[in-house]
Amino acid sequence: MIDIKVPCSTNAIAPQKTWNEKWDSVIVVVDSKRVQGRNLVEALPFLARENRELCVAFAQRIDFKAKSGDTFFFDAGPSLRVAVVSLAEGADIFEALSVARDAWDPIFNAKSKATGVDLRGLSGAREVQAFSDAFFSAHLARQFETPKQTSGADSDKRKPTVPAVEFWTHSSELVEFSKVGWSEARAMTEGTNWVRYLSLLPPDTLSPSLYVKKLKKDAAGAGIDFAFFDEKSLAKRKAGAFLAVTRGAEDHGGGIVSLRYRPKGSKSVARKVAFVGKGITFDTGGHNLKTDGHMLGMHMDMAGSAVAAALVFCAKKNQWPFEVEAFLAIAENSIGPKAYRCNEVVKASNGKTIEVIDTDAEGRMVLSDTLVLAAESKPDLIVDFATLTGSCIRAIGKNFSGVYSNLRELHPDLVEAGRRSGERVWPFPLDADYGKCLKSDVADTKQCRVSGGVDHIEAAYFLSQFVPEKIPWVHTDLSAAENDDGLAHVPPKVTGFGVRFAARLMQLVVQRHWHGPDFRLA
């Protein structure tokens, strides 16, 4: 799927009688309710039994009144570091992912070579599956290396040590059950890491033309259908909203990329989902030029397109039982003599005219024509991803992302998918009165307000005008695409948010709305 390799030295989950003597670190996961108020020897008799000479003296000094989320570290002798993680049986996946990241951090920093994750302190199959997902995902996310262009001296520095990891549980039935979650975790985290990688590439490395070229190469390598609507093709489609944004660019190699997966051996597929992504490789703001530090980081305004693309690769790799097609709006928003201007009226490919108010609201412009194209492919569901508004960040911060839908019945599924994935979302309203502010005297609609209002909701309402009412649609405003503290299992700062959420959402949609059997991601 990608040419960035995420190494994985993780072995399958297997029952064992004793700790592997090659392990130099161990993470022990226990149910906080079962150990409440006990000291460590009482809470973890197997720890004391198998490493008594190393652990008991330390353990007896700890009053182990651990609440869910607490982690205790200690050196059980000169060559064994132990982390005891306390998680409640009902801990949600976000908490589990966050705790797993915190547990792995000192182990990686200590350059551990082999780690055992001991799950025997958990009582149920659900916990074994969920927490093995969390610790495996955090292990893979921690391996990610930021793309760098450094001098030869820096480039020759030794790569960080990645500990091999084995998962240990007490029941062969739980072993088989856990392997499913372990495989799913790999697929989702590799996709997340790819989004992080692309988002961090500098704008001269991932210009529109270079981005398209990379996607074409990766699609060919994965056996995914690739199609490209360049500016000439978009002009024939009368995609005036998209082409208004690209007018000021030096690189005119962008356009709309289509990546398509169809289930193997299937001539006719009953269902289809279209993922749409905003792929602005650099956003100056155009004539509404960004000021001060707001220009920094604008090479990451393409994160939504990376999420949409990653989901097609995941579908192909794990043979999702329905068709998946991504439509990626790839362009840059530059300033120049031909750049589009405020008060212009442009016509989108569905015939709707748009009065330009702010050239820095370019994302909704390129997405409008891309949504029209996606709808023409007759999907059963459209889900788009975009780093669209600062307003959404101001509304809910960077720990959640905002979601919006033309089908209110999807709201519970969106929240549940966020809970199951650990990538949390919150639905906002999309009622018609939010669109009153977009009434224009000279066009069918304004692009946005001049100032004020609730731009994250109004932007979603604007986009809804380019999706037929009969097609269920979800808009995802990626307010959590960056987080200075990291998020869940992902270290700071670029989170790759969206892949886990969308994958879990599709499981729910298949089961609850398409009335098909639930499917695994791997």
Is 352 part of the annotated catalytic residue set?
no
The band of 5, judged by pLDDT with boundaries at 50, 70 and 90, is: very low
Residue 511: CB atoms within 10 A of its CB come to 14
pLDDT digits (tens, 9 = 90+) for 58-108: 555 555 555 777 787 877 667 788 888 888 878 899 999 999 999 999 999
Q: What angle do CA 384, 389, 395 make, to 5 degrees?
A: 105
The Cα–Cα gap between 139 and 185 comes to 10
Q: Which residue carries 């790999």 as its tokens?
A: 186
For domain 197-512, is the CATH number 3.40.630.10? yes
pLDDT score recorded for residue 6: 36
Q: State the average pLDDT over residues 214-238.
A: 97
Binned at pLDDT 50, 70 and 90, residue 4 comes out as: very low
Pairing mode, if any, of strands 401-405 and 473-477? Answer: antiparallel
Report residue 156: phi and psi, to 5°: -85, -5
What pLDDT score does 158 carry? 55
Which residues are registered as beta bridge partners of 21?
A: none
Considering the chain, what is the average pLDDT of its residues?
87
Catalytic site residue from 113, 290, 419, 449 = 290
**Weakest-pLDDT range from 79-88, 384-393, 411-420:** 79-88
pLDDT, residue 167, reads 83
User: Where is average pLDDT lowest: 216-225, 257-266, 308-317, 329-338?
Assistant: 257-266
pLDDT of residue 504: 96
Q: Is the separation of the CB atoms in 268 and 295 below 8 Å?
A: no
Question: What one-character-per-residue DSSP string does 62-112 give?
Answer: -EE-PPTT-EEEEE-STT-EEEEEEE-TT--HHHHHHHHHHHHHHHHHTT-
Task: Give the whole-angstrom CA distance, residue 233 versus residue 243.
Answer: 11
Is 349 within 8 Å of 369 (Cβ atoms)?
yes
Structure tokens at 221: 């390598």
Do 14-143 and 197-512 agree at the fold level? no
Helix (H, G, I), strand (E, B) or coil at 298: helix
Which among 364, 420, 446, 500 is annotated as catalytic? 364
Other CB atoms within 10 A of residue 176 CB: 11
Q: What pLDDT score was predicted for residue 265?
A: 72
From 54-68, 342-356, 440-454, 480-494, the region with the lowest mean pLDDT: 54-68
Confidence of residue 519 (pLDDT cuts 50, 70, 90): low
Which helix (H) or strand (E) segment holds residue 178: the answer is helix 172-200
- The per-residue pLDDT for 53 is 53
Return the pLDDT at 16. Answer: 53
The string of pLDDT tens digits covering residues 138-191 is 999 999 988 987 766 555 455 667 888 888 877 666 666 666 677 788 889 999
- Give the Cα separation of 492 and 477 in Å (integer): 19
CA-CA distance, 316 to 411, in Å (whole number)?
27
Tokens coding 472:
């269920």
Q: Which residue has 């996946």 as its token pair?
A: 93
Residue 499: partners with Cβ closer than 8 Å, 6 or more residues away:
188, 191, 192, 195, 307, 310, 311, 314, 423
Tell me the domain boundaries of the chain: 14-143, 197-512
Q: For residue 395, list its beta bridge partners.
A: none
Spatial strand order of the sheet with 445-446 comes to 345-347, 353-355, 445-446
pLDDT of 278 > 90? The answer is yes
pLDDT on residue 197: 96
* Nearest-angstrom CA–CA distance, 295 and 282: 9
Is residue 330 within 8 A of residue 212, CB to CB? The reply is yes
Backbone φ, ψ for residue 314 (5° rounding): -65, -45
3-state helix, strand, coil in the chain (%, to 5): 40, 20, 40
Tokens of 259: 């990546």
Q: Where does the pLDDT of residue 10 fall: very low under 50, low under 70, confident under 90, or very high at 90 and above?
A: very low
Question: Which CATH entry fits the domain spanning 14-143: 3.20.20.370, 3.50.50.60, 3.40.220.10, 1.10.645.10?
Answer: 3.40.220.10
The secondary structure element, H or E, covering residue 408 is none
Instruction: Yes or no: say if 358 and 458 are a contact pair by the CB < 8 Å rule.
Output: no
Judge whether 347 counts as a catalytic residue: no
pLDDT at 171: 65
Strands 272-283 and 381-386: parallel
pLDDT at 398 over 60: yes
For residue 522, the model assigns a pLDDT of: 41
Q: What is the CA radius of gyration of the chain?
A: 24
DSSP of 200-251, one letter per residue?
HS-TTTS-HHHHHHHHHHHHHHHT-EEEEEEHHHHHHTT-HHHHHHHTT-S-
Residue-level pLDDT at 60: 55
User: What's the sign of the alpha-carbon dihedral 371, 413, 386, 445?
Assistant: positive
